[in-house]
Amino acid sequence: MMSMLDKNPLMIDIDVKQWANLHHVVLKGLREKRRIVVIHENGKVQNISHSHEAEVVNPIRKVTDPEVDAKKLFEANEKNVDLVMVLERSHVENYYNEVQSSWKVDEDLDEYMYRMYSLLDCYYPGIVAYPGPASRQFGLQWLLPGNVGYLQFKSVLESFADRGTAVVIAVFENKTELWTSLVLGVDEKGKVSLITSVKQGIVKKDWREEYQDINRWVDENYWKSGLAIYMDKKDFLEISSSKAPSYLFKGLCDKGSIIIDPSTESLKAFIAKYRLHELS
C-alpha cells in the first residue's frame, strides 16, 4: 500500500487559526472525547476513571465480558461519556511492544500510524472500545460523513490531484477573510511533500473575483496550482455534514457557489458522471 505522505514533508507557514478551524470540523482526537477507562487484570478491575473527572455511575468491580460491560457502563453514564475503554493490562503491554518493535526506519509516518491503530482490533477482547471498534475511536478520527478515513482521503487525493502540482482548498468567512485553507504539494511520486496555508490578505475585495491572485501566489511561492477549490464557509460546513457530500458538492459547483479553477481532467470527469446520472 502506497503512502500518502512523503517521509519528510515540508510543513511551513501554517496559519494556526485556519488550521484550528479545519481541525475542529474534520478531526476529533481521543483526548477531546469524554471517556471512562477501565483497566483490569484477568477480569479484576485495577482502576476505573473518567477523563473529565465526572462521577462514574454504576462502576464495575469485575470484567466478565468486556464488550457487554463496556456497553452497560456507557448506557449508565450516557449523559457524561462519549466512549468507554476496557483494557486488560497484559494485552495493552503486548500491543505496545508489537507496535514499537514493528517500526521500520524507512517506513512513512502515515503508513505506520495507520497500521498502529488498525492493529488495535487484533487485540480484542483485551482492548475494547464502546462504541467500537477501537481502531475507529482511538487517535485522530475523521468527523466527515460516511466513516471517511485515511484510506478514503488518500484515494480521493490520488484520484483527482495531478502529480507535480499543488492542490489548493480555500474557504472564506466573508468576501475577503479566509476561514480555513490548505495547500498540498503532490510530488512526482504522488506523495504529499508540502503542507501549508494560503496567506491571509491576498484577497482585497471579493474572493470570487480575485481567487486567481491566490493561484498566482501559490505558483510563485510553491508549486504550480493543478487543482484549486474555492467556496464559502456555509457551503463547506454543509458538505462536511451532508449524508450525500458528492452530490451536494456537484450541485454547488453547477450553481457556481463553488469555484474550481484550475481543475483536473479526472475531477471534470467525476462531475460530468454525476450530471449524466441525473439525466438518466
Do 125 and 256 have their domain in common?
Answer: no
Partners of 10 in beta bridges: 194
Distance CA 35, CA 130 (A): 10
Query: What is the reported pLDDT for 243?
Result: 79
Do 193 and 254 have their domain in common?
Answer: yes
Q: Does this model's pTM top 0.75?
A: no
Ranges of the chain whose pLDDT falls below 70 = 1-3, 5-6, 27-31, 105-111, 139-154, 274-280
Distance CA 232, CA 203 (A): 14
Distance CA 148, CA 156 (A): 11
Among residues 18, 54, 15, which one has the least CA distance to residue 37?
54
Query: What is the reported pLDDT for 147?
Result: 47
CATH of residue 227's domain is 3.30.1050
Do 214 and 255 have their domain in common?
Answer: yes
The pLDDT tens digits of the residues spanning 26-43 come to 765 556 778 999 999 999
Range of the domain at 198: 5-26+146-279
Query: What is the reported pLDDT for 169?
Result: 94
